[in-house]
Structure 1
């Protein structure tokens, strides 16, 4: 398979556009001491990410603009939220959420979609 120079430059450009906003903040934060209130505020990021990821799958709209809840997502949200608040760890929050959803899909396949 051959790749044109233009395509290679597009791929490199996409990598830079994706990596720069994700790496530069870590470099900046590493060199400075953040105030306590900022560090405390950053501790809530796992909960915010959890909310954004779960809410999009929790509610769906069926024909006729009927709002429907996927009960498996709602049930998985309970242990995941507890893990997020208790540990404040994004990794553990995601692991608990994935395991909860996997078990619910295994045991309750017909519930909610």
Structure 2
């Protein structure tokens, strides 16, 4: 497959458009002082994102029916919640969740 200048410019442009919104907030935050209330609010963002992803995968939605529960995700929830209560560390919660889900998929599904 031959790479044209147009294709290369499109790829570089898409990379730039993807990169800029991820870098600009870091540049702006270094210049200004953020109030404590905003920092406290932003500390909940990772937990909210993980919860949204979890619930989206836990409930299986079918048109015209009530949501069903994905049992594999429900089984992986038990050790993950246990790790969350014990460690209160987001990294350990994610690690336990990924490992338990991989074990369930390997042995049960």
Deviation at 1:10, TM superposition (A): 1.1
Query: Whole-Å Cα distance in 2 between the matches of residues 93 and 26 of structure 1?
Result: 26
Q: Could you say which residue in structure 2 is the equivalent of 1:48?
A: 48
Q: Gaps spanning 5+ residues in structure 1: where?
A: none
> Is the Cα–Cα contact under 8 Å of residues 60 and 68 in structure 1 kept in the other structure?
yes
Deviation at 1:103, TM superposition (A): 2.4
Residues matched between the structures, number = 106
Query: Whole-Å Cα distance in 2 between the matches of residues 8 and 102 of structure 1?
Result: 38
Superposed, 1:1-113 pairs within 5 Å as: 1-62=1-62, 65-78=65-78, 79=80, 82=84, 86-87=88-89, 89=90, 91-109=91-109
Q: Gaps spanning 5+ residues in structure 2: where?
A: none
Give TM-score scaled by structure 2 length.
Answer: 0.76
The verdict on how the C-alpha distance between 1:94 and 1:23 changes in structure 2, with shifts beyond 3 A counting, is farther
Deviation at 1:64, TM superposition (A): 5.4
- Encode CA deviations 1:38-89: one digit per residue, 9 max, x unaligned: 1111111111110222222112234754522112223334525827x922x4
Query: Whole-Å Cα distance in 2 between the matches of residues 94 and 13 of structure 1?
Result: 34
- Answer 1 or 2: higher relative contact order, Cα 8 Å, separation at least 6: 1
